[in-house]
Structure 1
C-alpha cells in the first residue's frame, strides 16, 4: 500500500467551475496552466504542485482521492472544507 504521493491540484470555490475545468482537461488543456489561472490555493502559482506528501497529511476526501484514484488522470471534483479540487496524481510510492 502506498505511503507517499505527489500531486497537482486546482482549488476553486464552486463545483460548477471544477466541472468546467475537468471538461477542459479532458479536451487536452494543460493542467498546470489552468492551475495558475484559476486555483485559489497558493500552490496555483506553482502550477498546482503540492510536492510529495504522506498518506494522512491532507484532509480526508482529498487524501482518499489521491491514494485510490488513477495516476496521471485528472479526477474530481473532490469537495473538502476548502472548496472543490481537481487532482492529478503524479505518482505513489
Structure 2
C-alpha cells in the first residue's frame, strides 16, 4: 500500500464553485491556472501543488481521497477547510 502521495488541489468555500471548477477541468482547463485564480490555499501560488506528503499528514477526508481515489482524475472532497478539487499525481 502507498505511503506517500503527491497532489494538486484547489480550495474554495462553496460546493457550487467547486463543481464549476471541476467542470472547467473536465473541459480541458489547466489545473495550475485555475488554482492560481480560485484557490484560497497558500499552495495556489504554486499552481495548487502540495508536493509529496506522507499518509496521515492531511485531514482525514483529504488523506483518504489522496490514498484511495483515482490518480490523475480530479475529484471533489469536503473537509473542515471547505471544498477541495484534488488531483493526485502519483502514489509511492
Partner of 2:87: 88
Partner of 2:52: 52
Stretches of structure 1 that go unaligned for 5 or more consecutive residues are none
Once superposed, which parts of structure 1, at least 4 consecutive aligned residues long, lie more than 2 Å away?
none
Work out whether 1:39 is the aligned partner of 2:39: yes
Stretches of structure 2 that go unaligned for 5 or more consecutive residues are none
Q: CA deviation at 1:90?
A: 0.5
- SS of alignment partner, residue 9 of structure 2: strand
- SS of alignment partner, residue 25 of structure 1: helix
Q: How many pairs were matched up?
A: 92
* TM-score scaled by length of structure 1: 0.98
CA distance in 2, matches of 1:75, 1:13: 16
* TM-score scaled by length of structure 2: 0.99
CA distance in 2, matches of 1:72, 1:60: 20
Q: CA deviation at 1:19?
A: 0.3
Matches within 5 A, 1:1-93: 1-76=1-76, 78-93=77-92
